[in-house]
Amino acid sequence: GGRILSSRAGWFTFGPQMLTAGGFLTLTTNDLGFTVLSGDKLFLLGPGQSVIDGVKVEDRLRGKLPSAPTGAWLHPAAPTPGATNQVPLRDEIVINEIMYHYPPIYATNSTSNPMESDEQWIELYNRSASTVDLTGWRLEGAVDFTFPSNTVLAADAYVVVANHAATLRAKYPGIAVLGDWSGKLSHRGDRIQLRDAQDNPVNEVSYYDDSPWPAYADGGGSSLELRDPRADNSVPEAWAASLEGAKTSWRRYSYRARAINPVYSPNLFSFHEFRLGLLSEGEALLDNITVVEVPTNAPARQLLQNTDFTSGTNKWRLVGNHSHSRVEPNPDNPADAVLHLVATGPMSYLENQLETTLKVGGTLVPVVAGRDYDISFDARWLTGSPQLHTELYYNKVAATTILDRPDHLGTPGRRNSNFVTNAGPAYSRLQHTPVLARSNDAINVSVQATDPDGINSLTLHYAVNDGAWKSVPMSAQASGSASYSGMIPAQPSGAVIQFYVEGSDLAGGTSTYPAEGARSRALLKVEPPRLVSNKQTFRILMTPGDSRLLHSFVNLMSDDLLGCTVIHNEREVFYNAFIRLHGSMFSRTDASTTGFTVKFPADHLFRGSRGSVIVRRSGMVESFMKHIQNQAGGLPANYDDIVYLVSHRSDNVGPARLNLANYDDTYVDSQFENANDGTVFKLEGIRVYETTDDGTPEGHKLPQPVDFVWSYDITNLGDDPQQYRWSMLIQNQRARDDYSRIVAMGKAFSLSGTALQQAASTAIDLDEWARYFALQTLLGVADIYGVDNPHNIAFYARPDNGRVVVLQNDWGFAFALSTGASIYGKNNVFKILKLPGYRRLYQGHLLDLMNSVYKSAYLSRWAKHYSDVIGENYNNAPGYADARDAAVRNQLAPTIPFEITSNGGSNFTVNTPTVTLDGRGWINVHDIRRAGQTDPLQITWLDDQRWQITLPLEAGTNELQLFAFDYHGSPVGQDSIMVTTAASEFPQRDYLRIAELMYHPPTPGPAEIAAGFADGDDFEFIELWNTGPTNLSLVGAKFTVGVVFDFTASAVTNLAPAQRVLVVKNRAAFEFRYGTNLLVAGEYSGSLNNGGEFIRLVDAFGVAIQEFTYGDGGNWPIAADGGGSSLEALSVSGDYNDPANWQASVLTGGSPGQRGVVRPGFASVTYDGARVRLRFQAAVEQSYTVHWRDSLTAGQWNTLTPIPAGGSARIEEVLDDPPFGVPQRFYQLSTP
């Protein structure tokens, strides 16, 4: 009753028969009754017609190994019908080293972007005793490369495959380098597979960018090195970050700076200190640190104690995520003590840093504004971030120094720096059962272990409640099996058990799993499951000692990550996760409200996508707030899930909100286009510690009591980005460390009047800010910027237009303001929202929200839902909303009609090709459109009521009918007027056309990279063409959207008939590639989006000459998307939004400055059952002939019709009526 079903040919039904275990059944075409062709899909169905297996047929021999019947299809050397498949698998060559994220060249000024390097390579190693011929072998997956003929790799030899082979050869002469490959290694993790000439797998690695994989290989200055070439390189423990410290040397760094009083200077409470730290994870050696005060009329004096660390860390406080720093011997001189600086995370000004008190002879020395200070230190970079920040607290003197780092990173073509002869067994699939043990349960721990030398023994080590370690042997679960298990005896209820596996192979190699052994955190707890309805469980396990350290008062604000185990839904176990506290010093001191940031292993993400989450039991109302925000629309999305938290402390158990949208790179990539270079900042304000654990200025500071600089605001703190660092905490892109947009925003916010109005429009996304603060105001959120405490808000600096977007952060105090509170809060943001024009924008968003999501009828349902799910009462929300709605409406501007007021609303005449209309509209007007058009017009609001719109005119009388629409696209008014113009010529509009776009240039070659043009985007260009019969003035013409460029003061302001002009991204790069003989008007600002975008070119009157959106998918020419070609317009009178009006340039690199070669080809061929309709794009002054034939193997081409040359590009259509009964007909388009 079983069947083999073909997707195209039919099916075969099995008769009554049995297939013995390990037996084979061979079926021929005669047996099946149909022929199987390449591309067919075959399905094996059981007697009940359920699908057992399926395969897509290929046109070559394939087979599976008996040991992996559900594995991949392989390619046997010969057919073996009715017998075991024979697949010769090669294992001599191993992927031995990977450089997937070369670190940037850091800018010395943190307002400038670092230079990103795209250096990537993969090293292969021949671990066999024989030479291997690699001809026809391939790398595939993340990258694709086929090894050329006669490529051989000797025994114990290396070959490196690179994205830019010539560049790497020049950098590392003497090593074997092949390339270039196509594709790119992801910075977040990717798959690399090596396949032999028979297309069988040889070696495969799926790497990740963070623990348990070596994190410093992710832009931290290291490559990813295989420790033992014979080991299983599919597991992270087989790899290590290359050791780069030996390539560096000591250097003395010094700078002199004049101390200042910051704009916002806290009460220092006798904390006169020097502080230092790294801005991200990293390590460095430091010695001979000095701070010398240089008064004008007194001798200089050195203010630090124990500058050379001869007294260990005495007088230095190593706190938070810098607490793992230590004093050790200088590797160049063991008699000399140096500080080994270790940062497990970024420095911050409260807790995560190194600090020491400024003292001379036992006397505290304050930093004096206006006085010079020399700060010097010896340093040697080891790994990770080279960004060393030093300052005299608080920000009186501050600088970030980029430590020297070698340029030749990794060990391409050489033995790896982490090489070991025997790494010991490799492990996977560690698990314990039952997941939640009871006090009478013995616990089974199992793991899979393999080793090329064979397994000798495995031991399970365990410790209960931080007690002494015990061990039990592990045994194979079956003879020859790679699965081993051991039993932990039953333990008392509440016991926390830490465990790890230790193994040895038959050659004496040993290893542990998790790799850190006793320092790892594979944990279980003897505790029954929680029976919780309608909620997921989120269980956190920690050792008792780690739990005490995490919550100790002096460690409360530490960002250092401690190990833990997480169990989700009482089933999925995440060993060796990490945890730190989350929230302010107020929420962290209350066990019931303490929040946690939990980081998951990079190869075992939470829900398969999240590297970290935040779980909090405080401010649960924020989940409700995020729901409202998401429904409101127009704001970056953010959401929480609700879980039942069972933390490592018995006093922190219950419903909690799970924040799944941290403001990291993953979040911004999901919310914004081209977000890779954008940076998120969190407004911290300024908090000030007041006391220490020993009552002296040199003690460890305590997190409470704490003071605030309540007057803090977003304002001009000067040009130095260091002055913004601690009040605006950077959340991602730490290597870029770009505060330029935050500095610009602060300077804009410090202005007033017209200057503020102009600066704010370019510094921030005003429409988004207005909507955000409108929603914040309606929801009555407190403890937030704009209301009282200047914090709890975040920002995203867009890389495309430079404007800053506001992000919701911690709305845990909602419905907290009086319902009658003013709609205008405090701080500089409301100074902006009170400006004419911006005030109407803000009030318009208030009105729109009250008319949509902020209605008691809508809120009632969700208030009840979140009350029921969370267990808190939000049922007052609808009543609050009604009262707040009434109070807010009373504060809005009075209603006025939408109307055109030009010439008193009467018809009038002009002598220009455009007209500027004046009018009035209420706050509900969001868009204005012309009759019959869907795109909004560009509006200039002169104040809260008056608007202006400039419209193009046709010769003669124009009826201008305008419609006003609200924020949801509903009409709210209309008016019309007749305008007559005496103008009859519009030369820029009529004759200036975009002819070519190079939006995704081909990859730079070695010479271009050597010349400093490593970024392919530098070769972008746009070509424009004068299609008219006379000279054309370009003055006033400009690109305003997509890129920005004004021809008025450019190098080219006039075009002769048929002449072409170029605007380019980078003129030096363009001329290096294309020469200096082309007509270039200048460089535009911005960049053409590789994924497609909207382009607008306007004339001197601001009227659109051309506006269109190009793309990179669908029917758009694929070769123009990085394949070497440009986009060339086929017809300047055609629809620029239509992919059929564009072609990929025939010439690689495009055809700047000249007419492109039009490739003949049919755009479409359709048949309606009687007539064939052929359409193609005809080029200017080009003739064509259409031919036909009914067979490609017999007969000749017959002429259907000749097409004479025309004076313009156009779409030609040719019709053919083939005789009835002709089964097929072929067509050919040719040119002379």
* Per-residue pLDDT, 152: 98
Residue 1166 pLDDT class (50, 70, 90 cuts): confident
Residue with the larger pLDDT of the pair 913 and 202: 202
CATH number of 675-685+727-889: 1.10.1070
E-only strand ranges, 684-814 = 687-689, 706-708, 728-730, 793-797, 804-808
- Dihedral sign for Cα atoms in the order 849, 852, 855, 861: negative
- List pLDDT tens digits, range 885-904: 999 999 999 999 999 999 99
Backbone φ and ψ for 658, nearest 5 degrees, come out as: -110, 110
* Per-residue pLDDT, 111: 43
pLDDT at 791 exceeding the cut of 70: yes
* Per-residue pLDDT, 983: 83
CATH class entry, domain 93-244: mainly beta
Whole-angstrom Cα distance, residue 764 to residue 761? 6
CATH number of 437-524: 2.60.40.10
Plot region of 899 (φ>0 → left; ψ -120 to 50 → alpha; else → beta): beta
1223: CB partners within 8 A, 6+ apart: none
Residue 1204 pLDDT class (50, 70, 90 cuts): very high
Give ∠ CA 1136-1141-1142 in degrees, rounded to 5: 95
- If you average pLDDT over residues 362-387, what whole number do you get? 97
Q: Which of 821, 972, 825 is nearest to 886 (CA)?
A: 821
- List pLDDT tens digits, range 54-70: 999 998 999 998 878 88
Residue 913 pLDDT class (50, 70, 90 cuts): confident
* Per-residue pLDDT, 906: 97
CATH class entry, domain 899-981: mainly beta
Number of Cβ atoms within 10 Å of the Cβ of 183: 15
Q: What is the DSSP letter of 527?
A: -
Whole-angstrom Cα distance, residue 751 to residue 832? 10
Q: Tally the C-alpha atoms within 13 A of residue 1069's C-alpha that lie toward its C-beta.
A: 24
Beta bridge partners of 472: 460
Burial of 492 (0-12, 13-18, 19+ CB in 10 A): exposed
pLDDT at 106 exceeding the cut of 60: yes
Whole-angstrom Cα distance, residue 749 to residue 1172? 65
Residue 107 pLDDT class (50, 70, 90 cuts): low
* Chain center to CA of 263: 34
Whole-angstrom Cα distance, residue 1156 to residue 1147? 8
Element holding 831 (H helix, E strand): helix 828-833
Beta bridge partners of 692: 701
Task: Please report, for the chain, the start and end positions of each structural domain, with discontinuous segments joined by +.
Answer: 3-56, 93-244, 247-402, 437-524, 536-659, 675-685+727-889, 899-981, 987-1144, 1162-1230
E-only strand ranges, 344-482 = 353-357, 359-360, 363-364, 372-384, 387-392, 397-402, 426-433, 443-450, 455-464, 470-476
pLDDT at 1015 exceeding the cut of 60: yes
pLDDT at 1155 exceeding the cut of 90: no
What fold, for 1162-1230?
A: Immunoglobulin-like (2.60.40)
Q: Which of 172, 195, 158, 177 is nearest to 72 (CA)?
A: 195
Mean pLDDT of the chain: 93
Least confident of 759-763, 1159-1163, 1175-1179: 1159-1163
- List pLDDT tens digits, range 1026-1085: 999 999 999 989 999 999 999 999 999 999 999 999 999 999 999 999 999 999 999 999
675-685+727-889 has the same fold as 437-524: no
- Residue with tokens 């955190």, as numbered in its chain: 521
* Per-residue pLDDT, 110: 46
Whole-angstrom Cα distance, residue 903 to residue 890? 33
Residue 112 pLDDT class (50, 70, 90 cuts): low
Determine how β-strand 899-900 pairs with β-strand 914-920: antiparallel
Beta bridge partners of 183: 143
* Per-residue pLDDT, 676: 66
* Per-residue pLDDT, 675: 62
Number of Cβ atoms within 10 Å of the Cβ of 1040: 16
Backbone φ and ψ for 270, nearest 5 degrees, come out as: 65, 15
- If you average pLDDT over residues 435-442, what whole number do you get? 95
Whole-angstrom Cα distance, residue 456 to residue 503? 8
- Dihedral sign for Cα atoms in the order 454, 456, 460, 466: negative
Length of the chain: 1232
pLDDT at 532 exceeding the cut of 80: no
CB-CB contact of 781 with 814 (8 Å): yes
Number of Cβ atoms within 10 Å of the Cβ of 510: 14
Q: Which of 1041, 1178, 1059, 259 is nearest to 720 (CA)?
A: 259
CB-CB contact of 741 with 728 (8 Å): no
Question: Strand, helix or coil at 421?
Answer: coil
* Chain center to CA of 892: 40
Residue 488 pLDDT class (50, 70, 90 cuts): very high
How is residue 1082 written in tokens? 């200048």
- Residue with tokens 């272990």, as numbered in its chain: 449
Least confident of 99-108, 408-417, 424-433, 761-770: 99-108
Q: What share of the chain is helix, strand, coil (3-state, %, to 5)?
A: 15, 35, 50
Determine what percent of the chain is predicted with pLDDT higher than 70. 99
Maximum alpha-carbon separation in the chain: 110
- List pLDDT tens digits, range 829-871: 999 999 999 999 999 999 999 999 999 999 999 999 999 999 9
351, 352, 356, 358: CA torsion to nearest 10: -70
Residue 402 pLDDT class (50, 70, 90 cuts): very high
- Residue with tokens 């230092």, as numbered in its chain: 276
Q: What is the DSSP letter of 1058?
A: T
pLDDT at 108 exceeding the cut of 70: no
- C-alpha distances in angstroms, 1212 versus 526, 739, 1160, 1177, 1217? 79, 55, 12, 6, 17
CB-CB contact of 185 with 98 (8 Å): yes
- If you average pLDDT over residues 251-270, what whole number do you get? 94
Least confident of 87-101, 838-852, 1208-1222: 1208-1222
694-707 burial by CB neighbour count: b if 16+ within 10 A, else e? eeebbebbbbeebe
Element holding 631 (H helix, E strand): helix 621-632
Number of Cβ atoms within 10 Å of the Cβ of 1135: 10
Whole-angstrom Cα distance, residue 103 to residue 430? 34
Q: Which of 202, 18, 41, 40 is nearest to 122 (CA)?
A: 202
**At residue 518, what is the residue type?**
A
* Per-residue pLDDT, 114: 64
pLDDT at 190 exceeding the cut of 80: yes
Number of Cβ atoms within 10 Å of the Cβ of 552: 10
Q: Which of 346, 386, 381, 345 is nearest to 104 (CA)?
A: 386
